[in-house]
C-alpha cells in the first residue's frame, strides 16, 4: 500500500453518528489483499492514471475567493482539494467494477484499459497527445506516462467524442464507479475523510439494548435458506409450520406442497401473500434477497445499494441513458423507496377500466382497495418539518405563484430520515416487511424463504392452455456454497418479481405471449440542480437530510389527454451524486462535490408514451418526441423554481456541465439559458452531449389486457397461456401511470389476490 493510500485510510473524519455499525452485509468488507477482478497490474496502472485525472489535486490559487475562504477555514476541505484519485487503491475500484457492474460494460473497460497499457493502443484512443515532444526517445508514451494535465485533456475529449464509443463508455463507467467508491467507501470506524469536506453525515443510530434483542417482526415465519447448511434443517422447520415436505438427500433437494406460492415480496408480492394467507391458504413466499430490520441498516450508500438493489443498482438501458433502481431485499422496492403514497388518478382508473377494458379497475372495488391499502400502510399527508430540498421546491413554487402539493407518505408526520433509500433506520416507513408480510406470517399460514431464487415455473399441458403447478428454486449456502434445490407444488402460483425480473421468469419457463417483456414504461427522469450557499440563506439543513419527498408540483394537472409532468425531490447520497454529476474537469468536479450538502435537486418525471423491452437481462428503451418535449418542459420549470427560490447557480446533468450563475440575472438571460436546455441522448449515441439519469418506476412489461393480443395476462392478472398462474406486481399495469406507483401496485395486487382467494375458496367448496 503506498503512503498516500495509507494517509487516506488513516485520516479520521467524515463522521458517522452513533456506535452501531449495522449488518455485515451492509458494510464495506474490502479488506482482502487478493482480488477476483482479473485486471493485470498494467491495466490497474492505466486505471489509476485515469482516476488521478478525474480527481487531480487542485491548487488553492485556482479557486474563487468564496471557495478559497471556505477551504482556509476547513482542514477537511483543504486536504480534499489536495488529495488525488490515485489515493484510492485501483484494486478496490477494479473489484467493485468487475463484481458489480454490467458484464458488457466491464468488457468495454477491460478492452480500453488493455489498449492504454500499450503505446500504440494509447495513440489509437488518445491521439497525438501521447507524443513526447520534449523528450524524443521514446516517441510515444503509454497512457500512465502522459502528464496529468494531458490525461485530463484526453478525458475531456473522450467525454465528447461520440465516434470513439469504446473510450467514451469506459470513461463514463470508470468515472461513475470510481467516484461512487471514493465517496461511499468507509474505514472500519465507518468514516470517510471526504465526508467532512462535503458536509455529509451518516446517522447510523444509537445502540439500543431493547431493539437489539427484540424479536424481528417476521421471525416466526422466516427461513433464511442461505444460513442453513443442509436441507434437512429447512425441511424440519417447514414441517413444524404444517407443510408437507419430502427430501431427496442425493440431490440436496426439497419438495414442498402448499396452496399458493408467491414469488417476490415487494409491493405486489407482499400484499398478495397477506391476502392469500389470511384467507386460510397455506402460502410460501420466495424472495431472493435478504431479510433486514432497522437495527441492521447501516445507511451506508455503497454496500446498501449493492446488497439491497436489483443488479447492484447498476443495470442500465442499452444506451446508458437511464440507470434502474429497484429493490431486491425482503420487502422489495417498499423497503428502499421514498415513501410517496399517491393514489391512482381518476383519469387513469377510467382509462384502464373503460378504454382498455381491464376488469380489475372497476371503479368502486378498486377505489375501496386503495383505501384498504392506504389504511394498512398508514398513509398520512401531515408533515411537521420539511427538509432542505422540499423547502426550496415549495418556496420556488410559491414565489412563481405555482401550486405545490403535499406528498402523502407511508411514514409518520414526524419522520425526518433522509436515508430511506437504504432501509428506514427509524423503522417509521411502513414497507411490506413491517405490514403485509407481518399479516401473512401472523395468520400462521405463511412461510417466507429468503435468499431463495425462483428459477422456472412448472408448467404442464392441460389441453389448449397450460397449467402452472408450482416453481423450482435454488438457494446457495453462504458458508460452504452448496446449492440447495427446492421444488414447490402449488395450486396457484403468483409471480411478483418486479417489472425487470418477472418477464425473464415467464419467458425462461416457456411462455410465449408477445407482450411478455414488451411495453416497459419507466417514468423517465431528468434532474435540475441549484446551489444555495449557507450564508444568509432562509433554508436550513443539508440536501441529504429530512423526509425525501414532501412537496410536489404538477406542471400540468393530470387528465386523460394531457401527459403528466411532475416535479419532485430525490435522495442523492454523495456516491450517486458524484457518479451522475457531469465531469468537465478535475477541479470542477471537486468544486461541485464541495458544494454537495447545499446543492438542491428537483427532478422531472413524465408519464411516458415511449416503451421499452426487457429481454435476456438487456433493457432497451426509447423515448418518443413528445416524452422528450415533456421532459424539457419539466426541466425548464424546475430550473425556474430553483432560480426563484434564490439559487446562486443552477444547472442540468448534461455532459457539458450546463449551468447558469443567477446573481443579478435578468429575465432575458434566464430565457436564453432555458432555451438551450434539452433532453440529451445516452452515452451510446451519435451526439456530442449526453446525459445519464436514473429511474425508479418500472411498469407495464407484462401488462393486463382485454385479449391475448393486448396483454400478457388477462384483466384479473391471470396468464392467458397458463391456468393458475398470476402476475401480481407493477409489470401488469396497462400503461404508464403518471404518478409514483407504490399505491397503484399494492391496490392492483390487492384486487388480484382477493379474487384468487375467492376462486380458491369456491374451488374447495365445489
Ligand atoms: C429508490 C426507489 C425509490 C422509490 N420511491 C417511490 C416512492 O416514493 N413512491 C412510490 O410510489 N414508488 C416508489 N418507488 C417504486 C416502487 O417502490 C416500485 O414501483 C414497487 O416497489 C414495485 O413493486 P413490485 O412488486 O413490482 O416489485 P418490487 O417491489 O421491486 O419487488 C420485487 C421483489 O421480487 C424479488 N425477486 C425478483 N426476482 C426473483 C426471483 N427470481 N426469485 C425470488 N425473488 C425474486 C426481488 O428481490 C424483489 O424483492 C421507488 C423505487 C425505488 C427503487
Residue 8 pLDDT more than 50? no
Q: How confident is the model at residue 375 (pLDDT cuts 50, 70, 90)?
A: very high
Full-model pTM:
0.95
- Distance (Å, whole) CA 8 – CA 45: 19
Q: Which long-range contacts (CB under 8 A, 24 or more apart) does 115-118 make?
A: 116/46, 116/49, 116/142, 116/143, 116/144, 117/40, 117/42, 117/43, 117/45, 117/46, 117/142, 117/143, 117/144, 118/142
Look-up of cell digits 470510481: 178
* Residue 420 assigned ligand-binding role: no
Helices (H), 351-422: 363-376, 388-400
* Residue 612 assigned ligand-binding role: no
- Distance (Å, whole) CA 539 – CA 554: 23
Q: Give nearest CA residue, ligand 1 atom 15.
A: 697
Q: Give nearest CA residue, ligand 1 atom 46.
A: 328
Residue 189 pLDDT more than 90? no
Mean pLDDT of 271-295: 97
List of residues 6+ apart from 442 with CB closer than 8 A:
none
**What is the DSSP pairing of strand 483-495 with strand 283-286?**
unpaired
* Residue 262 assigned ligand-binding role: yes
Identify whether the C-beta of residue 448 lies closer than 8 Å to the C-beta of residue 221: yes
Q: In angstroms, what is the span from residue 130 Cα to ligand 1's centroid?
A: 47
- Distance (Å, whole) CA 640 – CA 567: 12
Give the H/E segment covering residue 402: none
3-state SS, residue 536: coil
- Distance (Å, whole) CA 575 – CA 578: 5
Atom of ligand 1 nearest to the CA of 473: 42
559 vs 680: which has the higher pLDDT: 680
Cα 34 to Cα 30, 39, 94, 312, 613: the distances in Å are 10, 12, 12, 22, 39
Q: Give nearest CA residue, ligand 1 atom 47.
A: 328
Does residue 523 have an active-site annotation? Answer: no
Atom of ligand 1 nearest to the CA of 728: 25
Radius of gyration of the chain (CA): 26
- ∠ CA 674-675-678 to the nearest 5 degrees? 85
Q: In angstroms, what is the span from residue 200 Cα to ligand 1's centroid?
A: 27
Q: In angstroms, what is the span from residue 267 Cα to ligand 1's centroid?
A: 6
Q: How far does Cα 64 stand from its chain's mean position?
A: 35
- By the 10 Å C-beta count (0-12 exposed, 13-18 middle, 19+ buried), 697 is classed as buried
What would the grid cell of residue 472 be?
Answer: 423450482
pLDDT at residue number 13:
42
Q: In angstroms, what is the span from residue 167 Cα to ligand 1's centroid?
A: 33
* Residue 468 assigned ligand-binding role: no
pLDDT at residue number 9:
43
Q: How many CB atoms lie within 10 A of CB 7?
A: 13
- Distance (Å, whole) CA 315 – CA 392: 31
pLDDT at residue number 29:
79
What would the grid cell of residue 407 be?
Answer: 406528498
Atom of ligand 1 nearest to the CA of 342: 11
Residue 4 pLDDT more than 50? no
Selecting among 23, 523, 601, 697, the annotated active-site residue is: 697
Mean pLDDT of the chain: 93
> Each residue of 515-569: pLDDT tens digit?
999 999 999 999 999 999 999 899 999 999 999 999 999 998 766 566 689 999 9
Q: Give nearest CA residue, ligand 1 atom 53.
A: 326
Identify whether the C-beta of residue 352 lies closer than 8 Å to the C-beta of residue 358: yes
Q: In angstroms, what is the span from residue 184 Cα to ligand 1's centroid?
A: 23
Q: Give nearest CA residue, ligand 1 atom 2.
A: 337
Q: Which residues line ligand 1 (CB under 6 A)?
A: 263-269, 286-289, 325-329, 332-334, 336-340, 421, 453-454, 496-499, 501, 505, 549, 696-697, 729-730, 740-742, 745
Q: How many CB atoms lie within 10 A of CB 98?
A: 18
Q: How many CB atoms lie within 10 A of CB 525?
A: 23
- ∠ CA 327-331-333 to the nearest 5 degrees? 30
Identify whether the C-beta of residue 271 lies closer than 8 Å to the C-beta of residue 205: no
- By the 10 Å C-beta count (0-12 exposed, 13-18 middle, 19+ buried), 73 is classed as exposed
Phi (first) and psi of residue 750, to 5 degrees: -60, -50
Mean pLDDT of 432-453: 97
Identify whether the C-beta of residue 90 lies closer than 8 Å to the C-beta of residue 48: yes
DSSP letters spanning 144-182 = GGS-HHHHHHHHHHHHH-TT-HHHHHHHHHHHHHHHHHH
List of residues 6+ apart from 505 with CB closer than 8 A:
263, 454, 456, 457, 495, 497
Identify whether the C-beta of residue 424 lies closer than 8 Å to the C-beta of residue 548: no
Identify whether the C-beta of residue 291 lies closer than 8 Å to the C-beta of residue 308: no
Mean pLDDT of 85-90: 87
Residue 437 pLDDT more than 60? yes
> Each residue of 342-374: pLDDT tens digit?
999 999 999 999 999 999 999 899 999 999 999
Phi (first) and psi of residue 681, to 5 degrees: -80, -175
pLDDT at residue number 208:
53
Give the H/E segment covering residue 406: strand 405-406
What would the grid cell of residue 313 be?
Answer: 443498482
Q: Give nearest CA residue, ligand 1 atom 50.
A: 337
- Residue whose CB lies within 8 A of the most ligand 1 atoms, among 292, 327, 457, for a mutation test: 327
- Residue whose CB lies within 8 A of the most ligand 1 atoms, among 218, 263, 264, 451, for a mutation test: 264
pLDDT at residue number 139:
83
What would the grid cell of residue 694 be?
Answer: 436514473
pLDDT at residue number 6:
44
Q: In angstroms, what is the span from residue 731 Cα to ligand 1's centroid?
A: 10
What would the grid cell of residue 538 be?
Answer: 432562509
Q: How many CB atoms lie within 10 A of CB 364?
A: 7
136 vs 258: which has the higher pLDDT: 258
- Residue whose CB lies within 8 A of the most ligand 1 atoms, among 696, 703, 731, for a mutation test: 696
Q: How many CB atoms lie within 10 A of CB 57?
A: 17
- Distance (Å, whole) CA 373 – CA 432: 11
pLDDT at residue number 133:
73
> Each residue of 580-631: pLDDT tens digit?
999 999 999 999 999 999 999 999 999 999 999 999 889 999 999 999 999 9
What would the grid cell of residue 717 be?
Answer: 392478472
Q: In angstroms, what is the span from residue 438 Cα to ligand 1's centroid?
A: 18
List of residues 6+ apart from 260 with CB closer than 8 A:
276, 281, 282, 283, 284, 490, 491, 492, 493, 494, 756, 760
Residue 130 pLDDT more than 80? yes
pLDDT at residue number 53:
97
Lowest mean pLDDT among 176-185, 252-261, 476-485: 476-485
Mean pLDDT of 386-401: 98
3-state SS, residue 629: helix
- Residue whose CB lies within 8 A of the most ligand 1 atoms, among 261, 262, 301, 337, for a mutation test: 337
Whether the bond between 390 and the residue before it is cis, its omega within 30 degrees of 0, is: no
Residue 725 pLDDT more than 90? yes
pLDDT at residue number 132:
79
* Residue 701 assigned ligand-binding role: no
Atom of ligand 1 nearest to the CA of 743: 11
pLDDT at residue number 27:
92
pLDDT at residue number 20:
58
If you count them, how many residues does the chain have?
A: 766
* Residue 271 assigned ligand-binding role: yes
- Distance (Å, whole) CA 310 – CA 320: 17
- Distance (Å, whole) CA 266 – CA 377: 13
Mean pLDDT of 465-494: 93
Q: In angstroms, what is the span from residue 324 Cα to ligand 1's centroid?
A: 11
Q: How many CB atoms lie within 10 A of CB 189?
A: 10
pLDDT at residue number 11:
39
In 3D, which of 283, 303, 288 has the Cα closest to residue 224?
A: 288
Share of the chain above pLDDT 90, in %: 86
Lowest mean pLDDT among 128-142, 211-225, 653-667: 128-142
- Distance (Å, whole) CA 559 – CA 347: 5
- Distance (Å, whole) CA 173 – CA 682: 13
3-state SS, residue 41: helix
- By the 10 Å C-beta count (0-12 exposed, 13-18 middle, 19+ buried), 461 is classed as exposed
List of residues 6+ apart from 129 with CB closer than 8 A:
146, 150, 153, 154
Identify whether the C-beta of residue 174 lies closer than 8 Å to the C-beta of residue 257: no
Q: How confident is the model at residue 85 (pLDDT cuts 50, 70, 90)?
A: confident
* Residue 258 assigned ligand-binding role: yes
Cα 741 to Cα 201, 486, 581: the distances in Å are 30, 32, 27
Q: DSSP class of residue 231?
A: H
In 3D, which of 101, 267, 100 has the Cα closest to residue 731?
A: 267
- Distance (Å, whole) CA 109 – CA 173: 8
- Distance (Å, whole) CA 492 – CA 717: 12
Q: What letters, b where the CB count within 10 A reaches 16 and e where it falls short, cover 205-215?
A: beeeeeeeeee
In 3D, which of 654, 605, 658 has the Cα closest to residue 634?
A: 605
Residue 12: half-sphere exposure toward Cβ, Cα within 13 Å: 1
pLDDT at residue number 635:
98
3-state SS, residue 604: strand
List of residues 6+ apart from 640 with CB closer than 8 A:
396, 400, 670, 674
* Residue 259 assigned ligand-binding role: yes
Amino acid at each position: 500500500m503506498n503512503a498516500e493510500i495509507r494517509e487516506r485510510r488513516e485520516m479520521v473524519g467524515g463522521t458517522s453518528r452513533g456506535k452501531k455499525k449495522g449488518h455485515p452485509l451492509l458494510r464495506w468488507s474490502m479488506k482482502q489483499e487478493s482480488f477476483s477482478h482479473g485486471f493485470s497490474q498494467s491495466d490497474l496502472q492505466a486505471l489509476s492514471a485515469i482516476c488521478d485525472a478525474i480527481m487531480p489535486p487542485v491548487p488553492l490559487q485556482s479557486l474563487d475567493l468564496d471557495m478559497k475562504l471556505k477551504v482556509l477555514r476547513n482542514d477537511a476541505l483543504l486536504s480534499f482539494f489536495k488529495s488525488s484519485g490515485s489515493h484510492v487503491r485501483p484494486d478496490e475500484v477494479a473489484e467493485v467494477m468487475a463484481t458489480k457492474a454490467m458484464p458488457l460494460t466491464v468488457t468495454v473497460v477491460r478492452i480500453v484499459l488493455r489498449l492504454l497499457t500499450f503505446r500504440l493502443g494509447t495513440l489509437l484512443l488518445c491521439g497525438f497527445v501521447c507524443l513526447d515532444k520534449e523528450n524524443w526517445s521514446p516517441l510515444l508514451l503509454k497512457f500512465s506516462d502522459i502528464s496529468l494535465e494531458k490525461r485530463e485533456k484526453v478525458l475531456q475529449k473522450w467525454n465528447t467524442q461520440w465516434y470513439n464509443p469504446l473510450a467514451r463508455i469506459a470513461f463514463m463507467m470508470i468515472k461513475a464507479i470510481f467516484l461512487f467508491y471514493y465517496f461511499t467507501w468507509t474505514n472500519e470506524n465507518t468514516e470517510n475523510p471526504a465526508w467532512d469536506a462535503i458536509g455529509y453525515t451518516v446517522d447510523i443510530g444509537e445502540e439500543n439494548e431493547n431493539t437489539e434483542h427484540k424479536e424481528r417482526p417476521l421471525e416466526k415465519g422466516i427461513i433464511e435458506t442461505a444460513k442453513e447448511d443442509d436441507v434437512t434443517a429447512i425441511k424440519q422447520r417447514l414441517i413444524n409450520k404444517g407443510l408437507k415436505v419430502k427430501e431427496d438427500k442425493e440431490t440436496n433437494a426439497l419438495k414442498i406442497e402448499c396452496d399458493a406460492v408467491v414469488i417476490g415480496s415487494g409491493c405486489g408480492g407482499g400484499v398478495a401473500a397477506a391476502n392469500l394467507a389470511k384467507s386460510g391458504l397455506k402460502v410460501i413466499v420466495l424472495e431472493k434477497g435478504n431479510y433486514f430490520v432497522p437495527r441492521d441498516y447501516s445507511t451506508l450508500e455503497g454496500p446498501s445499494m449493492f446488497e439491497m438493489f436489483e443488479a447492484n443498482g447498476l443495470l442500465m438501458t442499452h444506451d446508458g441513458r437511464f440507470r434502474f433502481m429497484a429493490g431486491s431485499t425482503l420487502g422489495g422496492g417498499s423497503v428502499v423507496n421514498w415513501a410517496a403514497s399517491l393514489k391512482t388518478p381518476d383519469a387513469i382508473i377510467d382509462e384502464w377500466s373503460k378504454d382498455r377494458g381491464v376488469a380489475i379497475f372497476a371503479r368502486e372495488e378498486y377505489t375501496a382497495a386503495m383505501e384498504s391499502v392506504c389504511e394498512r400502510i398508514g398513509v398520512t399527508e401531515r408533515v411537521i418539518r420539511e427538509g432542505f430540498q422540499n423547502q426550496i421546491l415549495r418556496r420556488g413554487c410559491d414565489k412563481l405563484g405555482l401550486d405545490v402539493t403535499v406528498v402523502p407518505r407511508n411514514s409518520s408526520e414526524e419522520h425526518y430520515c433522509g436515508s430511506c433509500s437504504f432501509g428506514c433506520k427509524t423503522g417509521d416507513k411502513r414497507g411490506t416487511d413491517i405490514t403485509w408480510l407481518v399479516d401473512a406470517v401472523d395468520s400462521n399460514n405463511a412461510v417466507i424463504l429468503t435468499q431463495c431464487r425462483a428459477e422456472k415455473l412448472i408448467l404442464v399441458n392441460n389441453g389448449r392452455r397450460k397449467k402452472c403447478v408450482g416453481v423450482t428454486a435454488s438457494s446457495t449456502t453462504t458458508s460452504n456454497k452448496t446449492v440447495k434445490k427446492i421444488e414447490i407444488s402449488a395450486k396457484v402460483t403468483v409471480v411478483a418479481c418486479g417489472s425487470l425480473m418477472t418477464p425473464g421468469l415467464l419467458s425462461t419457463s416457456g411462455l410465449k405471449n408477445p407482450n411478455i417483456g414488451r411495453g416497459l414504461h419507466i417514468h423517465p427522469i431528468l434532474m435540475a440542480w441549484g446551489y444555495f450557499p449557507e450564508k444568509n440563506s432562509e433554508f436550513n439543513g443539508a440536501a441529504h437530510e429530512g423526509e425525501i419527498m414532501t412537496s410536489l408540483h404538477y406542471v400540468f394537472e393530470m387528465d386523460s389527454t394531457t401527459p403528466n409532468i411532475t416535479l419532485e425531490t430525490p435522495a442523492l447520497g454523495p456516491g450517486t451524486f458524484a457518479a451522475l454529476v457531469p465531469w468537465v474537469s478535475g477541479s470542477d468536479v471537486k468544486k461541485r462535490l464541495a458544494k454537495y450538502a447545499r446543492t438542491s435537486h428537483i427532478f422531472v418525471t413524465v408519464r411516458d408514451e415511449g416503451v421499452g423491452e426487457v429481454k435476456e437481462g438487456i433493457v432497451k428503451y426509447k423515448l418518443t418526441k413528445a416524452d422528450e418535449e415533456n421532459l424539457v418542459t419539466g426541466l425548464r420549470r424546475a430550473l425556474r423554481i430553483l432560480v426563484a427560490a434564490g439559487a446562486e447557480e443552477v444547472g442540468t446533468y448534461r455532459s457539458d456541465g450546463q449551468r447558469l450563475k443567477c446573481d443579478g440575472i435578468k429575465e432575458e438571460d434566464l430565457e436564453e439559458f432555458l432555451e438551450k436546455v434539452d433532453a440529451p441522448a445516452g452515452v451510446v449515441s451519435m451526439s456530442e452531449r449526453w446525459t445519464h439519469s436514473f429511474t425508479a418506476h418500472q411498469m407495464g412489461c407484462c401488462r393486463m389486457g382485454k385479449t391475448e393480443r393486448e396483454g400478457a395476462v388477462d384483466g384479473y392478472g391471470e396468464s392467458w397461456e397458463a391456468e393458475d398462474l398470476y402476475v401480481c406486481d407493477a409489470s401488469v399495469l396497462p400503461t404508464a401511470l403518471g404518478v409514483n406507483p407504490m399505491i397503484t401496485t399494492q391496490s392492483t395486487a390487492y384486487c388480484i389476490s382477493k379474487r384468487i382467494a375467492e376462486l380458491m375458496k369456491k374451488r374447495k367448496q365445489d
